[in-house]
Amino acid sequence: MSDYLVIVESPAKAKTIERYLGKKYKVRASMGHVRDLPKSQMGVDVEHEYEPKYITIRGKGPVLKELKSAAKKAKKIYLAADPDREGEAIAWHLAHSLDVDIHSDCRVVFNEITKDAIKESFKTPRPINMNLVDAQQARRVLDRLVGYNISPLLWKKVKKGLSAGRVQSVAVRMIIDREKEIKDFVPEEYWTIKADFIKGRDQFEASFFSINGERKDLHSEEDVKKVVGSISGNDFEITAVSKKERKRNPAAPFTTSSLQQEAARKLNFRARKTMMLAQQLYEGIELGKEGTVGLITYMRTDSTRISEVAKAEAAGYIEQTYGKDFLQANERKEKKQTGAQDAHEAVRPTSTLRDPNTVKDFLSRDQFRLYKLIWERFVASQMAPAVMDTMSVDLKNGEVIFRATGSKVKFPGFMKVYVEGSDDSVEEKENMLPDLKEGDKVIGKDIEPKQHFTQPPPRYTEARLVKTLEELGIGRPSTYAPTLDTIQKRGYVALDNKRFVPTELGEIVLELVLEFFPDILDVEFTAKMEQEFDSVEEGKVEWIKVIDEFYRKFETHLEKAEAEMEKVEIKDEPAGEDCENCGSPMVFKMGRYGKFMACSNFPDCRNTKPIVKEIGVKCPNCKEGNIIERKSKKRRIFYGCDRYPACEFISWDKPLPRPCPKCEGTLVEKKLKKGVQVQCMQCDYKEAPQS
């Protein structure tokens, strides 16, 4: 008979914790929730204060039976699910199923799975926090009322299998609104003028800044001609030199949202993959003789707070590894995100001393890459700012002024370890100007005007959408990844070159929901509901009152929709060719990864095929086939001959229709971090990169 039974969610977590607690403790896993609302019906009694009707989740009977058996043999039961609303709800359901008094000291929480953290948490068990449970119940019940009322309507009026949820509907609306912005965008012409300047042996670049003492935007070629026509000869004089020192602070340690964004930028990870890997690192990794160790703190958090112990350990590591100058002099005050609960620490390594290279051999490639990202971001956040020397120089010819700017790193500070990624891939690079002073004469040459057009706002990447949802106060750390997953599974949006595009189905569903349930799609309303859940958690308001205020208005909209919503028929777009298997017409379908062709005789014929996209280039290898755009199993675009397997030409870079001017070979567009560069596959010919 064991003295104590500890219940957690997963076997991996159970294995890690059991070795820290000793022989008197048995640690078992509930495998997540054991009770939930039924899938076959609403499961919420709207006539009796929205009482949820919980049932044992299908397939969890054997798990519960085993837990009940273990509970009978234990003197004391501890419920150690994750330290958030969902974890508190799991603990509450387990208490109900195992007859544990929720007012007893049965709940244990910890932010990291390390020996010290586990031992400390068992010194201070507490009762189950019903405010946290009620906040989770409020969200669960509200989402059930919305989903199980609107979804059947969509099944009847549009097609089976559709759903509409609060957060997912707003996410789809944002993607569709962005698409409308792009379609409605009218490009505006503008020009820039750059020139090279020579001082002795040094050469540097400057851009047009002003004319006749005024900053002037160049909107047309006529504007450019006026500026260039005002330049007399090629002699310029330095009229102003400004030198400054600029500090650059490190980014804060990760929250769930910023971790998902940075993993997308730097590692090309989807939100779902990031959270799966983070869960593994949190629950524990086998480190040889050291045993199973949790490598990072809890990964669902909206806080950038760091414990004093972690700060002290990081400071010691930084001083020993990089020197005292690299320590931050004053503690930074981190900005608190709107709506952030600040219940947990930031996502950080459980020990700074466990640097990535010491654990690399025990991790998979992707686990290592994510751990390295988390470790470097945290260590950098505790380091001194980088110091940059910046220089600005004005060069005058008549009434025309060009300006050159440059910078170099004076002291690397945190940049020695880590530099935050950027959505637009623009990197800050050193570009120091020569030693110049007022009155110096320089020679201007190669004045180059260039025409540009303003660009529409970009489509959302996963990282940008998560960031925008967080900024608007929509959803919580635990909801971002599932939301992005759901809107793709339902076919409302698809990923095109890692950016979201709406589907016809998504636009139809949005239009119907917007017409009859405007609140569900209102950004401010959805953010307000998140604040209401937070108020429930803080004990300021009863969860039933929050639900009732919503449902009374929602019920009116529902009755109107049931009476007035018209049936919509979505016709498949003909593909213009017949199925090679049965002869029926092929049609275009939209799947999770974009458009594809399918037989219209489905389900009798299940023939599908990818859409072949020709790029207008003859195969440089066999000279007979055409180059087509294809996708690898990992959805990466590549280019190959349509005569494959007879011709095995393949290229990750896009071939161009024009020949190389140097050797008549094949030119390709090679993607760089800052744009694209045209280069030859056969010789060393390269063109200047284009952003």
Active site residues: 298
> What's the rounded Cα separation, in Å, for the pair 411 and 384?
9
* Tokens found for residue 457: 């706002």
Instruction: Report the half-sphere exposure of 54 (CA within 13 A, side-chain side).
Output: 15
CA 376 to chain centre: 18
> What's the rounded Cα separation, in Å, for the pair 97 and 34?
9
> What's the rounded Cα separation, in Å, for the pair 354 and 295?
8
Give residue 21's identity as a one-letter amino acid code: L
DSSP state of 68: H
DSSP state of 361: G
Crossing angle for the helix pair 523-537 and 166-184, to the nearest 10 degrees: 150
Question: Does residue 91 contact residue 81 with C-beta atoms inside 8 Å?
Answer: yes
DSSP secondary structure of 583-625: -PEEEEEEETTEEEEEETTTTT---EEPPPEEEEEE-TTTSSS
> What's the rounded Cα separation, in Å, for the pair 255 and 347?
6
* Tokens found for residue 8: 């957690």
CA 500 to chain centre: 12
Sequence-ordered strand ranges (E) for 503-583 = 573-578
Which residues are 72's β-sheet partners? none
Q: Going by C-beta distance under 8 Å and a sequence separation of 6 or more, which residues neighbour residue 559?
A: none
Sequence-ordered strand ranges (E) for 381-454 = 386-397, 400-411, 441-453
SS3 234: coil
Q: Going by C-beta distance under 8 Å and a sequence separation of 6 or more, which residues neighbour residue 250?
A: 380, 381, 383, 385, 413, 414, 418, 420
Which bin fits 22, alpha (ψ -120 to 50), beta or left (φ > 0)? left
Q: Going by C-beta distance under 8 Å and a sequence separation of 6 or more, which residues neighbour residue 444?
A: 195, 196, 197, 231, 234, 235, 236, 395, 397, 402
> What's the rounded Cα separation, in Å, for the pair 553 and 556?
5
Residue 531: other Cβ atoms inside 10 A = 11
Which residues are 45's β-sheet partners? 51
Question: Does residue 194 contact residue 448 with C-beta atoms inside 8 Å?
Answer: yes
Q: Which residue has the tokens 């008979």?
A: 1
Residue 516: other Cβ atoms inside 10 A = 19
Sequence-ordered strand ranges (E) for 188-248 = 189-199, 202-211, 214-215, 235-248
Q: Which of 155, 159, 166, 177 is nearest to 517 (CA)?
A: 166
> What's the rounded Cα separation, in Å, for the pair 448 and 113?
60
* Tokens found for residue 675: 């744009």
Radius of gyration from C-alpha coordinates of the chain = 30
Helix or strand (DSSP H, E) at 502: strand 499-502
Question: Does residue 607 contact residue 580 with C-beta atoms inside 8 Å?
Answer: yes
CA 619 to chain centre: 38
